[in-house]
Homo-oligomer: A and B are copies of this chain.
Amino acid sequence: MTESLTIDMTGGAAKPIEFAILVAPGYNPVDIIGPHTLLGVMPGVNLHLVWKNTDEVMGTPTFPTRPTTTFDECPADLDILYVGAPGHAQFTDTETLEFLADRGSRARWIAGSCLGSLLLGAAGLLQGYRATTNFGAVHFLPYVGATYAPGNVVEDRNRITAGPATGGFEIGFRLLQDLYGDEAAKEAILQCEYAPEPLFPVGSPELAGPELTAIAKAHLEPSLAPLTEIFEKVGARLGVAG
């Protein structure tokens, strides 16, 4: 992308697009930066990096970031509510969950990538929906009343979820398509030069095979293991069997 990229487009944006991205302590910038940039460069988009306050938060890995908008200041009616992988503390943080539940109750699109899907779920926003998340965490989806569905991007009514990293870009292209039309989505794909060529074709458990997948899951285990207890509580609170 370039310093002042703007894309003219017709239709669909008569009033501002209100776009809120959660940036909580421990958040993973890699999950949010695709949609952040794809939509943030569009004319008529009001971009909000939201958190409880505008004190600097630390990303994972190290990425000191200052939110632009507090929960209180965030527009009540959002066009897009977006969440990437958060810090674990947010899965049980009442203020965060209430904010997401409130804005999600009215948002045009509710989007989450990687463990961000599960945070939306913990806020009660995925009950009865098909969804996806990080491949190592799909077993947590039932705890929030969601049903796992395969695919890079899973769309069920106005919920749209994806895996980590480039999952966010692919959600972004789909949201551009919905909000600005096919031509805008196509142009964004070209402007991003989104024609990826993985160095090795192992970007999913199916492609990677059981051996590499087992290694990857074992390496994820220390960070995901604490989520079992957390999601049992989340499931109980939501009244979901899990």
Contact = CB atoms under 8 A, between A and B. Distances in A.
Contacts of A166: 166, 169, 192-194, 196
Contacts of A134: 2, 193
Interface in A168-200: 169-170, 173-174, 177, 182, 185-187, 189-200
B87 A3 contact: yes
A155 to B, nearest CB: 11
Interface stretch (A31-39, A75-83, A96-104): A31-39
B195 A203 contact: yes
Interface stretch (A4-12, A121-129, A234-242): A4-12
A156 B130 CA distance: 46
Nearest to A115: B2
Interface in A63-89: 63-66, 68, 85-88
Identify the interface centre among A173, A182, A195, A205: most chain B CB within 10 Å of its CB.
Answer: A195
Nearest to A65: B65
Contact of A173 (B4, B152, B190, B198): B198
A149 interface: no
A85 B193 CA distance: 14
Identify the interface centre among A47, A56, A203: most chain B CB within 10 Å of its CB.
Answer: A203
